[in-house]
Amino acid sequence: LARAGLVLPDDMAGQTFSVTTLGASGVDFFTPIINPPNVGILGVGGVRDGVAWEGDRPVRTSVMTLSLTIDHRAVDGAPAAAFLGTVRDLLESPYRLMS
């Protein structure tokens, strides 16, 4: 609906948090801007190849950048960081969502 220009301001009323991505446009990292009345927005970058180490052996892996912007008048930084850590953990081990 948004791409077709059919989302009206009333359709967005009442939300407090948004998720946005520029990954499909080839962007790995960006800083999303909070749109009122939201108090936070999660930016999801593109997935790219990376390297992780298992012991002394390099292993090919996928890397995706997340960026969290919050309004510190409504949310303290420590709980926001804990939230972002939980999102990261669930993305790294999605089977946990099923248990």
Residue 42 token pair: 């999660």
Active site residue 10: no
Active site residue 72: yes
- Within-domain flag for 63: yes
Q: Is residue 78 part of a domain?
A: yes
- Residue 81: the pLDDT is 97
Count of C-beta atoms within a 10 Å radius of residue 23? 18
14 within a domain of the structure (yes/no):
yes
* Domain span including residue 77: 9-92
Q: Is 26 left (phi over 0), alpha (psi -120 to 50) or beta?
A: left
Residue count of the chain? 99
Please state, in angstroms and rounded to a whole number, the distance separating the CA atoms of residues 9 and 36. Answer: 11
- Of 10, 49, 56, 72, the active-site residue reads 72
The pLDDT value given to residue 58: 97
Give the domain CATH number at 63: 3.30.559.10
Tell me if 97 is assigned to some domain.
no
C-alpha 77/C-alpha 34 separation (Å) is 15
Which residue's structure tokens are 């997935």? Answer: 47
The pLDDT of residue 17 is: 94
Interior angle at CA 86, CA 75 and CA 29, nearest 5: 80
Catalytic residue among 11, 28, 76, 89: 76
pLDDT in tens, 7-56: 787 777 777 999 999 999 999 999 999 988 899 999 999 999 999 999 99
Global pTM value: 0.79
- Of 47, 80, 79, whose CA–CA distance to 62 is shortest? 47
